[in-house]
Amino acid sequence: MNSSEIPVLQADKVSKSFSGQRILNGVSVGLKRGEIKVLIGPSGGGKSTLLQCINCLVLPDEGSISLAGVEVDLHNKKSLYQLRQQVGMIFQDFNLFDHLNALDNITIALRKVKKISRTAAEKRARLELEQVGLGDKTDLYPAQLSGGQKQRVAIARALAMDPQVLLLDEPTSALDPELIGEVIAVIRNLAGKGMTMLMATHQISLISTLADEILFMEAGVIVERGAPSLLLVPGCGSKSAGFCDRLSELADGECKC
């Protein structure tokens, strides 16, 4: 077996219940290096829960998570910390550290987790901020940034840790329509550089152009999976096509841009 065929990240038959209610029901997802998979489906379907189970922010009840073929010990805090270093996460509502400026939002984990010196961490942080077009915003605090800028800092913060995989949970959903573009551009740029990504999104342009595979999730189960070229053919009757049609109608109704 060629080593490039071992998934960088594999979630296997992951199940999760909250107060007796089954939210994830045996979900499996694998990501090979450079692959981009997009999670879509109705709200409440379990997309966020799946993403958080994958980096163990939420511990799965059943199933396993493997990094480069090695199963993570879910009962060992240290191995969870190590998993999360390898798997970056972008949240819908940014979750920047409010008391730190853009630069230190990035340096803090480099220093506390990777034990990198302050100078080296700052150098790296500046580089990452430049990459997302915020080289001139290093000293600003989250409260002084727009939503789009906050999300770009969050992306820079995740990338500074050199993750093997990036998980994105509706990265543009909390943004005003005019700010979505700048974040999409950053994500496209990442895709161009070959970043491995698993992303929940309702952004049609990202779904149709970036996804190697679409995963349609409903009631805790992936009910449909396949390439956009297969699933998004107009009138093909797939759930994904229907869902994207409804999304674009909504988007058309909302803004004429």
Ligand X SMILES: Nc1ncnc2c1ncn2[C@@H]1O[C@H](COP(=O)(O)OP(=O)(O)O)[C@@H](O)[C@H]1O
- Which range of residues in 28-36, 45-53, 144-152, 243-251 is near ligand X by CB under 6 A? 45-53
91 lies in the site for other proteins, by CB under 8 A:
yes
Give least dist CB 110 to other proteins, A: 9
Residue 210 touches which member of Mg ion, other proteins, ligand X, none, C-beta under 5-8 Å by kind: none
240 binds ligand X (CB under 6 A): no
Q: According to the binding rule CB under 8 A, does residue 143 interact with other proteins?
A: yes
- Judged by beta carbon, residue 200 or residue 232, the one nearer other proteins is 200
User: Which residue bears the tokens 């727009």?
Assistant: 146
Candidate ranges 17-25, 79-87, 210-218, 233-241; the one touching other proteins (CB under 8 A):
79-87
173 binds ligand X per the rule CB under 6 A: no
Q: Which pair of structure tokens corresponds to residue 82?
A: 């190590």
Where in 43-72 is the site for other proteins (CB under 8 A)?
Answer: 55, 57
User: How far apart (Å, rounded) are the C-alpha atoms in residues 147 and 166?
Assistant: 20
**Of the candidates 212, 217, 224, which has an alpha carbon nearest to the alpha carbon of residue 31?**
212
Cβ contact 115:194 at 8 Å: no
Beta-strand runs (E) in the chain: 9-18, 21-31, 36-40, 62-67, 70-71, 87-90, 165-169, 196-200, 213-218, 221-226
Is residue 131 part of the contact set for Mg ion (CB under 5 A)? no
Binding residues for other proteins, rule CB under 8 A, total 33
Residue 32 beta carbon to ligand X: minimum distance, rounded to whole angstroms? 24
Contact with Mg ion (CB under 5 A) among 8, 39, 48, 215: 48
Contacts of 141 (CB under 8 A, 6+ apart): 98, 99, 100, 101, 102
SS (H, E, C) 134-197: CCCCCCCCHHHCCHHHHHHHHHHHHHCCCCCEEEEECCCCCCCHHHHHHHHHHHHHHHHCCCEE
Among 10, 49, 203, 240, binds ligand X (CB under 6 A): 49
Residues in the site for ligand X, rule: CB under 6 A? Answer: 18, 23, 43-49
Residues in the site for other proteins, rule: CB under 8 A? Answer: 55, 57, 77, 81-82, 84-85, 87-89, 91, 93-99, 101, 108-109, 112-113, 140-145, 154, 157-158, 161
